[in-house]
């Protein structure tokens, strides 16, 4: 099953598109789905090995196949991010930076956090995972208010590259913790991208659709956290 069975709300897609981040956001979710499928295939091989059953060629190749697909999607995300950097209009960037440093934006972002936490809490999360995801939101939101859109783009690039590096390692970044390291970093990238939608909602739309977006966003994050573990 897809991690995001419902399409991204049209208004959120439009908002991300104004920042050049719509294709980036799509690629991050496609990568997430591929990596979850890779982890499922990895567990399948572990189970069969434990009971001494032979693996088919397809079963032996599935983990790498899905992982390579995910790495390819991250490459697309990084390419689109580079284009977003290059094509960002200076006037729009300045407008966004002024907005994100305003008291009104900070108040709106705090309300968005409340909605995000409320929607997230409606999902079936382990308390430690729930707290970790809220902490990631707070960290990325701090980047938004301190460095504006350029900070979001830089953070997206850094986290996306980090996930690609981790998934390129032999252990795929499966360092144990509340969440595997690769997944924790990927959640950070997805949250940073989602905050791009929050920015656009405030700048161009008077934040009329943020609740609708977060109602889509929280279940999608829950599916990513639960998948392949």
Comparing CA positions, the residue from 155, 42, 145 lying closest to residue 103 is 145
Q: Report pLDDT for 116.
A: 95
Give me the mean pLDDT over the 20-36 stretch. 95
CB 216, CB 9: distance < 8 Å: yes
Comparing CA positions, the residue from 87, 111, 106, 118 lying closest to residue 24 is 87
For 156-189, the DSSP string reads HHHHHHHHHHHHTSTTTT---SSS-HHHHHHHHH
- The predicted model scores a pTM of 0.93
Convert the pLDDT of each residue in 187-225 to its tens digit: 999 999 999 999 999 999 888 899 999 999 999 999 999
Convert the pLDDT of each residue in 61-119 to its tens digit: 999 999 999 999 999 999 999 999 888 888 888 899 999 999 999 999 999 999 999 99
Token couple for 198:
């929050």
Convert the pLDDT of each residue in 55-72 to its tens digit: 888 888 999 999 999 999
């Amino acid at each position: 099953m897809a991690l995001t069975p419902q399409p991204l709300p049209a208004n959120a897609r439009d908002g991300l598109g104004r920042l050049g981040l719509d294709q980036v956001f799509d690629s991050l979710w496609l990568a997430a789905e591929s990596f979850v499928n890779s982890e499922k295939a990895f567990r399948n091989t572990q189970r069969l090995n434990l009971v001494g059953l032979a693996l088919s060629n397809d079963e032996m190749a599935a983990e790498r196949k899905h992982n390579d697909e995910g790495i390819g999607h991250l490459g697309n995300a990084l390419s689109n991010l580079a284009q977003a950097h290059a094509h960002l209009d200076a006037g729009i960037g300045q407008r966004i930076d002024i907005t994100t440093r305003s008291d009104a934006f900070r108040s709106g972002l705090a309300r968005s956090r409340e909605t995000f936490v409320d929607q997230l809490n409606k999902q079936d999360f382990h308390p430690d995972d729930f707290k970790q995801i809220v902490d990631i939101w707070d960290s990325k939101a701090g980047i938004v208010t301190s460095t504006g859109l350029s900070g979001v783009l830089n953070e997206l690039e850094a986290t996306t590259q980090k996930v690609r590096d981790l998934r390129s390692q032999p252990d795929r970044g499966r360092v144990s913790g509340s969440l595997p390291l690769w997944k924790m970093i990927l959640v950070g990238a997805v949250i940073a991208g989602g905050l791009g939608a929050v920015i656009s909602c405030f700048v161009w739309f008077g934040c009329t659709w943020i609740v609708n977006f977060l109602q889509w966003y929280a279940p999608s994050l829950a599916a990513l956290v639960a998948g392949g573990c």
